[in-house]
Structure 1
């Protein structure tokens, strides 16, 4: 599999920033907690959950709160989140990543120390020294080879802000032609299934959501179990396929787009095509925003909403579906024309873009 280029995935679950006065309901607290976890900030996530009184929590919301508090409030770290792997060598590698995620999320300021600990554990497990693998980037090909030898596919690299490990058994390749606003885009998609690890974003939120997929120079990769309705559902066709196909097309068409610019354009495509998933995606764009370009999804969300609000003269969630779709298409077209005028076309694709 092509190596990742350390770009953020679009995550399927909803998220929201902390409100000025703190969240007032369990759902608002969960949204705020998720937003904090997307930025690798466990203490802020726990603070959001603690801001809502105990008496308001029940059912699945309470179970989620208890899981997150138990996982990241515990010292020493809790048992690995996945015990479904019989192979000891593979289980040890996953355990090393889970301990690293736990440490990095609990103490964001100590993230570099947590990465050093991960590297030390992997060297020991793979029986390589510092000369052979001086950095995590150097050891990850060996990790991937080891996992493949034991029958597992893996996605490594970085999903900012943390190192990634996704593990799955099964995949098949299928061709698609995606009807993007700028024209049809043919792509090959690897449909992935039978997962043992959905990566750090799932671990960080007690399996409430996960990375939905990613793009390489040659194909797309879809985490199929996450999409209701399979490949025929709108979740897959819009949230994954159209989003990722736009990344694929943009990397062939333009040079050096920043991560947030890739996400900005792909999110406009989602809104230009979404119908049944429109409300959920808009909620995510509206409630998970930020000013830091190093958190490209949150920053792109803010830019998308601001630009559509200006174009529509109203907040995007208040207009009919057709009006929103038309505005998103017009905004994308305007962005494309601006970039074509200012940026030379790329001669070949590069990099890996995760959803």
Structure 2
């Protein structure tokens, strides 16, 4: 069940646009840009022009690769074309990507023996990391973010240890701060750099895109650190949880610990909720708002942020009266 998002009568529906792009629904995003052109301000018209350069024609006519210029440009070109084909066609292009990467790495590192076979994922991971490392960079390796294979590449990193309270439990994960990104993956490409991963967790550590955060802010301490900290714990405690279940639990932790960012976080979840999506974040957003709506308002799904704001203001007033 998709969450309907209504545009104001006199404003471009930017929230719906970015929700579509984050879900990889580029044709629908292009259609929205076309239908709401008359509602756009000057900056939104620039976004429309850049987006259409990237996705409306037979080829990407934007300066994406020029701005991303690095030693791995040839590899990034392979991924860019895969992302673009996947977005526009709505079809699974994963097999084609693996064949292209096999050809790419075979020409660099191997003989032509078994030239018709496609490398297994583990082999692609080894060659991908080797190629990126040889160019003085680091990567997550061969893997997916949501429904698309992704390419996350950065130059520098340093790590430290954070000890913090996660809803009554003390945890102390290793946190790796990454800087100098060459690419932040398909989300960055699809949204013109508006949205991208702020970090992620593994069983061994939490990884942080450092330039995104004020390290003293609730955005870092709750939306990033507590969220990824929950993933870090769940990977060890519940290794078979699905991506949607992992995100559901982490998003509930965010809301339970947020204060100044609470309404903003709720609003983001509402605007990016889609039960029918292939993206675990979008499905989890929907489930979180649905379940809280049932618990608090006794209704299926409340998408009115004013109603949520009034609810939490009233709850705060009652708590103050009880402590007075």
TM-score grouping bracket, smaller chain normalisation? 0.7 to 0.9
Q: Does 1:187 align with 2:173?
A: yes
- Given candidates 66, 70, 76, the residue that maps to 1:94 is 76
Q: Does 1:234 align with 2:234?
A: no
- Given candidates 181, 187, 210, the residue that maps to 2:196 is 210
Cα distance in 2 between the residues matched to 1:246 and 1:270:
9
* Mapping for residues 66-145 of structure 1, pairs under 5 Å: 66-78=49-61, 81-84=64-67, 87-88=70-71, 90-109=72-91, 111-112=93-94, 114-115=96-97, 118-119=100-101, 122-123=104-105, 126-128=108-110, 129=112, 130=115, 133-145=118-130
Give the CA deviation at 1:310: 2.4
Do 1:193 and 1:225's aligned partners in 2 also have CA atoms closer than 8 Å? Answer: yes
Cα distance in 1 between the residues matched to 2:163 and 2:60:
45
- In our comparison, the structure showing a higher alpha carbon Rg is 2
Cα distance in 1 between the residues matched to 2:63 and 2:121:
21
Q: Does 1:155 align with 2:140?
A: yes
C-alpha distance 264-27 of structure 1, shift in aligned 2 (>3 A): farther
Cα distance in 2 between the residues matched to 1:111 and 1:24:
38
Give the CA deviation at 1:146: 1.2
Aligned length in residues: 304
C-alpha distance 85-62 of structure 1, shift in aligned 2 (>3 A): closer
Q: Does 1:164 align with 2:150?
A: yes
Give the CA deviation at 1:216: 0.7
Structure 1, unpaired ranges of 5+:
1-16, 325-355
1:10-39 deviations in Å (ceiling 9; x for gaps): xxxxxxx673777756552x3222222222
1:319 corresponds to which residue?
311
Give the CA deviation at 1:162: 1.0
Cα distance in 1 between the residues matched to 2:289 and 2:68:
42
Do 1:201 and 1:210's aligned partners in 2 also have CA atoms closer than 8 Å? Answer: yes
1:305 corresponds to which residue?
289
Q: TM-score, normalised by structure 1?
A: 0.77
C-alpha distance 242-46 of structure 1, shift in aligned 2 (>3 A): same
Q: TM-score, normalised by structure 2?
A: 0.83
Cα distance in 2 between the residues matched to 1:113 and 1:23:
41
C-alpha distance 311-117 of structure 1, shift in aligned 2 (>3 A): same
C-alpha distance 132-226 of structure 1, shift in aligned 2 (>3 A): farther
Do 2:79 and 2:151's aligned partners in 1 also have CA atoms closer than 8 Å? Answer: yes
1:61 corresponds to which residue?
44
Do 2:269 and 2:286's aligned partners in 1 also have CA atoms closer than 8 Å? Answer: yes
Do 1:23 and 1:48's aligned partners in 2 also have CA atoms closer than 8 Å? Answer: no
C-alpha distance 119-206 of structure 1, shift in aligned 2 (>3 A): same
1:177 corresponds to which residue?
163
1:331 corresponds to which residue?
none
Structure 2, unpaired ranges of 5+:
303-307, 317-324
Q: Calculate the aligned-residue CA RMSD, in Å.
A: 2.8
Cα distance in 2 between the residues matched to 1:176 and 1:70:
43
Cα distance in 2 between the residues matched to 1:241 and 1:126:
39
Q: Does 1:48 align with 2:32?
A: yes
Higher relative contact order (CA 8 A, sep 6+): 1
Deviates more, 1:272-281 or 1:218-227: 272-281
1:88-139 deviations in Å (ceiling 9; x for gaps): 4x11111221121122112112534652564355346635454675245531
